[in-house]
Structure 1
Amino acid sequence: MRTKSVDVVRISTKGPGDVSGLLSLIEQGRIDPKSIVAILGKTEGNGGVNDFTREFAVSALRTTLAPYLDLPPHRVEQRIAFVMSGGTEGVLSPHITVFTRDGAANHDSGISGKRLSIGMAQTRDFLPEEIGRDVQIRETARAVAAAMADAGIVDPQDVHFVQIKCPLLTSDRIEAAVARGHEPVTNSAYGSMAYSRGASALGVAVALGEVESEIDDEHVLRRFDLFSSVASTSAGIELMHNVVIVLGNTTSSAAPFEIGHAVMNDAIDSTAVIDALKSVGLHIDDASKPPTASRQLVNIFAKAEAAPNGSIRGFRHIMLEDTDISSTRHARAAVGGLISGLSGTSAVYVSGGAEHQGPPGGGPVAVIARLLANGSD
């Protein structure tokens, strides 16, 4: 019995506070605001500690949706998971992807196989000294399991992307921890972003059984051979807990969408991007094949980072040595250009900082496709 249906809509934005596209679709009846469960966005900030475009975007969305939900703006986040990733370097285009979910009583006809499902969960708020450490790993693992249950996904192999928004340390948060007699994982606000992303990703790996050994504090940012192939984590100043969004396929979904993924081994791994597209029936690399009339690209979600060993396939890169532009901005631009060129659109979700998210220098890439003509090829 298919009990849920999911819809996915990608909307271009003119700025981090632009909600006109979303409002237009709501007014047209294309999106029911009460059915929105998650919004993932790319904003044109720097992606760093002081990137307030993320908070601005969330604030604009909360304020816009609050009247439709009969809630004050500050309570909207209890209903909707917001994940804003800063940084649209190169050709990357600012946009949001809106996920809705509702009952599927009238959607069973003609649907077979597994279809896209989405589940959400949150951790408790973390103390500053818990960020980047074992507590964050364990709590994230619990939240991933809860989000899988919310999505109706039982088999970890059916999970293709886990998006997490996680906190970072600020000078005030560091001082608060020290005042209570606790030492934070780092005294660097920027450095804390990597620790938080890494611990969160390892939490996904634990939840999905991607690692066999015990994970603890000492593994974060040290054992890069331990990673998740589906985790995408993004750190921000606007929260103190982890927001977890699980995307996968299940027979309980009646959605006309599928999601698949592959793992990029480095920033120029075009084969992995093509494989991810193929996993949902989008064959863009073979000119001899006719266009896939029954499949339509919705969006691509990927992680990017500068290879920590300083080279890509034997050639030196300078992303880690540039003191003018952070390595995450270099990586987003490079991977964003690669994926945009292969997919034919620059409105793709590429997030920087892939610690424990795929192999070092690489990262997961997931694709959502809409199935047309009742989903039959």
Structure 2
Amino acid sequence: MRTTSVDVVRIATKGPGDVSGLLGLIEQGKIDPKSIVAILGKTEGNGGVNDFTREYAVSALSAALAPFIDLPPHRVEQRIAFVMSGGTEGVLSPHITVFTRDSAANRVSPDISEKRLSIGMAHTRDFLPEEIGRSVQIRETARAVAAAMAEAAIVDPQDVHFVQIKCPLLTSDRVEAAAARGNKTVTNSAYGSMAYSRGASALGVAVALGEIEGEIDDEHVLRRFDLFSSVASTSAGIELMHNVVIVLGNSTSSAAPFEIGHAVMRDAIDSTAVIKALKSVGLHIEDGSGPPMASRQLVNIFAKAEASPNGSIRGSRHIMLEDTDISSTRHARAAVGGLISGLSGTGAVYVSGGAEHQGPPGGGPVAAIARLSTK
């Protein structure tokens, strides 16, 4: 007997404050707003410290959904997990992906052994500025991942295929607040703190899923890049002080007509890994020049992008780390976004920059969700 059912809908947006597509589907009865549990989005900001399109998008969505779930807008985030990733460089197209979940107690699967898409959410406590990017964030994230897995009824870590986390960053005010208490933050750079927070959060995922053995401490963050998670995707933002954790995987408790799978890109041009991720959910590419061809339908692809830290990709030098006009994360999102869009046939894919401890250096996880055939 299946206990839950998950639905996934990708909606194009005309701007970070555009909620018309979501409201339209709600009015048509295609989305029950009370069943929404998470919304992941790509906004057209710069993806940096001052990218307020993320906060703008969350505020707009919260205000739009508040009347439907009988909550004031400022409390909607306690009910729905929002993760907005800034930066839609190149061919990437702004959009949101809405996840809903409801009871499926009366539904019986023809094959109870089949695992289907399941989702679980959890939040860490708020972090002090001096805890960001350090072992405290690693430990608390690991606990939250375990809690989200339990909510999703995922027992085997191998059934977890993507863990999306929104994590905090440091600002000058937060650094000063720590100093006033006699504490020192991991860095004084707001931009640099994004990498520390992403990295510590990713290591927390690796610890929770048993991808890393032994003790992990402060000294491992942004130093031991051989330590990583193959399914973590972390995105830092100014709009929160805790971690929002969303676990996506497959479970026998789910009656959802969707399946998720993943692969790990070894670098920014690893088309083989993208194709492997698509094939893991029954999506096939005939000649590599067009969209997937199968009886299943692609819902979305989620991936991390990072400029290779050694300055080269398969022996060829790149300048992403040396460009003082455009940050390396923006270069990487554009490159990986173009690759994935070309293979999937759409630019409306979720590609997030900054892959510290998220896949091997210069690479990152790539996950695909497909709707199963209803034949």
Checking the alignment, whether the CA contact within 8 Å between 1:198 and 1:355 is kept in structure 2 is yes
| Equivalent-residue separation in structure 2 for 1:291 and 1:48 (angstroms) | 33
> Which letter does structure 1 place at the counterpart of 2:33?
P
Task: Specify the SS of the correspondent of 1:233.
Answer: strand
Checking the alignment, whether the CA contact within 8 Å between 2:286 and 2:292 is kept in structure 1 is no
| Equivalent-residue separation in structure 1 for 2:28 and 2:68 (angstroms) | 14
Alignment coverage as a number of residue pairs: 372
| Equivalent-residue separation in structure 1 for 2:39 and 2:292 (angstroms) | 30
Pairwise CA RMSD: 1.2
Checking the alignment, whether the CA contact within 8 Å between 2:6 and 2:117 is kept in structure 1 is yes
1:46 has 2:49 as partner = no
| Equivalent-residue separation in structure 1 for 2:92 and 2:221 (angstroms) | 29
1:350 has 2:359 as partner = no
1:246 has 2:247 as partner = yes
C-alpha deviations, 1:86-144, integer Å up to 9, x for none? 00000000000000000013432435500000000000000000000000000000000
Structure 1's 267 and 33: CA in aligned 2 closer, same or farther, altered over 3 A?
same
Q: State percent identity of aligned pairs.
A: 89
Checking the alignment, whether the CA contact within 8 Å between 2:257 and 2:371 is kept in structure 1 is yes
C-alpha deviations, 1:30-88, integer Å up to 9, x for none? 00000000000000000000000000000000000000000001110111000000000
Structure 1's 244 and 291: CA in aligned 2 closer, same or farther, altered over 3 A?
closer
Checking the alignment, whether the CA contact within 8 Å between 1:111 and 1:254 is kept in structure 2 is no
The equivalent of 1:31 in structure 2 is 31
Q: Which 5+ residue runs of structure 1 have no aligned equivalent? A: none
Written as runs of structure 1 = structure 2, the 5 A alignment for 1:192-207 is 192-207=193-208
Checking the alignment, whether the CA contact within 8 Å between 1:118 and 1:151 is kept in structure 2 is yes
| Equivalent-residue separation in structure 1 for 2:66 and 2:292 (angstroms) | 41
| Equivalent-residue separation in structure 1 for 2:345 and 2:303 (angstroms) | 15
The equivalent of 2:267 in structure 1 is 266
Task: Specify the SS of the correspondent of 2:253.
Answer: coil
Scaled by the length of structure 1, the TM-score of the pair is 0.97
| Equivalent-residue separation in structure 2 for 1:166 and 1:183 (angstroms) | 19
Task: Specify the SS of the correspondent of 2:179.
Answer: helix
Checking the alignment, whether the CA contact within 8 Å between 2:262 and 2:368 is kept in structure 1 is yes
Deviation at 1:211, TM superposition (A): 0.5
Deviation at 1:372, TM superposition (A): 1.6
| Equivalent-residue separation in structure 2 for 1:108 and 1:29 (angstroms) | 24
Deviation at 1:292, TM superposition (A): 4.7
| Equivalent-residue separation in structure 1 for 2:176 and 2:150 (angstroms) | 38
Checking the alignment, whether the CA contact within 8 Å between 1:293 and 1:372 is kept in structure 2 is no
Task: Specify the SS of the correspondent of 2:60.
Answer: helix
The equivalent of 1:305 in structure 2 is 306
| Equivalent-residue separation in structure 1 for 2:371 and 2:292 (angstroms) | 14
Written as runs of structure 1 = structure 2, the 5 A alignment for 1:212-227 is 212-227=213-228
> Which letter does structure 2 place at the counterpart of 1:95?
H
Q: Which 5+ residue runs of structure 2 have no aligned equivalent? A: none
